[in-house]
A and B are shown apart, each in its own frame.
Chain A
Amino acid sequence: MRQLSHHILDIVENSLEAGASRVDINVKELPQENLLSIQVCDNGRGMDAETVARLSDPFFTTRKTRHVGLGIPLFKAAAERCNGRLTITSQPSQGTQVMAEFERDHIDRAPLGDIVGTLLAIILAQRVCDLRYCHQVGDLCFEFDTADIRRELGDIPLTHPQVRDWLKRFIEEGEAELHATAQVGRPASAGHVLCPQRSELPSTESGLIKRV
């Protein structure tokens, strides 16, 4: 896998297979601490300690369609070759949390890559699941929750072609603005999707988008 966003998509695919109805993705980039972390939390069926202990074995899988399970071992290797680590916390019926940490400026760290494509692939998944995404760079963050968007849409599915196009534009704009703002170190033009710290933020009317 050439991009960290490929790993994110793969981990979320596991969440969907585990019956999750809700997935949280937190991508945190802290340049001053030379840290990039990716956390995926779900409310799926979870795993017992014995299963968690075997996850980094590429020849262990719970699936019946094949005999290898490469997703976690690949993600773990990607983190460890950047002086990072991968930790998994899970309990039966309590969901699962996967956390990968990387040295942000390590020469072997793969780029985050096409996060827009990854999020769209998750949103379009046949197993319907709400997704909350938060991408923090320094003290700025772009976040959204598909539960809020679905509330706005009512009976119109997220997979509707026009909604799909809107989501793609929305995520592209949010990510672009996040990076542009983080680079110049000042707030973006009024009223898009950036925020300094989520807990301090006022919400917009819908709660869909938060900002400075």
Chain B
Amino acid sequence: MPKLKSLEELRALRDGVRAEIATRTETGTTITIGMGTCGIAAGARETMQAVLRELRAQDIEAHVATVGCIGMCSAEPLVDIEQAGQPRITYQNITADKVHRLITEHLKNGRVVGDWVFGRLQKS
């Protein structure tokens, strides 16, 4: 039975990334997007898609995760950005059209976008 191209790609990818994975997981960036009913209705899925597109376009490697509702429904879509050694920043009302600026400012230029900050969580 012939092998499928996509599966061959997956196996090649697996072999390629195995070596560097431990380092990146410990030192990397995590972007978390609220995906409860409120978040979905406010456009969180589209925000997530925009984040993935922007990471690819700007060649930034970051872990992206989705979570449920935290009870701040009026501030959805909520996006958290956490970088190693930095406080976790929660941004509010991050619709897809704001993602380019958010990723560029926070991850490329290293500047928190103060206007959109909902809260900061310092690591204990």
Contacts and interface: CB of A to CB of B under 8 A. Distances in A.
Interface of A: 1, 6, 9-10, 13, 16-17, 63-66, 69-71, 74, 114, 117-118, 120-122, 124-127, 149, 152-156, 159-166, 168-170, 173, 190-193, 202, 204-206, 208-209
Given A125-B67, A156-B21, A165-B56, A190 B2 contact: yes
A193 B62 CA distance: 29
A55 B37 CA distance: 14
B4 A152 contact: no
Nearest to B5: A191
A155 B17 contact: no
Interface of B: 1-7, 9-11, 13-14, 16-18, 21, 32-33, 35-38, 40-41, 44-46, 48-49, 52, 55-56, 61-71, 73
Given A65-B69, A66-B69, A125-B67, A163 B4 contact: no
Interface of B is mostly: helix
B48 to A, nearest CB: 6
Nearest to A154: B14
B15 to A, nearest CB: 10
- B6, B46, B49, B71 interface centre (most CB from chain A within 10 Å): B6
- B33, B40, B52, B69 interface centre (most CB from chain A within 10 Å): B40
A119 B93 CA distance: 23
Contacts, number: 127
A173 B6 contact: yes
Given A9-B45, A10-B36, 6 more contacts: A64-B71, A66-B71, A66-B73, A125-B65, A154-B18, A163-B10
Given A156-B18, A159-B64, A117 B45 contact: yes
Contact of B7 (A1, A6, A70, A208): A208
A152 B1 contact: no
Given A120-B48, A173-B6, A190-B2, A156 B14 contact: yes
B70 A65 contact: yes
Contacts of A17: 68
Contacts of A192: 4, 6
Given A152-B14, A161-B55, A121 B2 contact: no
Contacts of B40: 1, 6, 9-10, 13
B7 A13 contact: no
Contacts of B49: 114, 117, 120
A166 B9 CA distance: 8
13 contacts: A1-B41, A13-B40, A125-B65, A126-B66, A153-B14, A155-B21, A156-B17, A160-B21, A161-B61, A162-B13, A163-B17, A208-B10, A209-B4
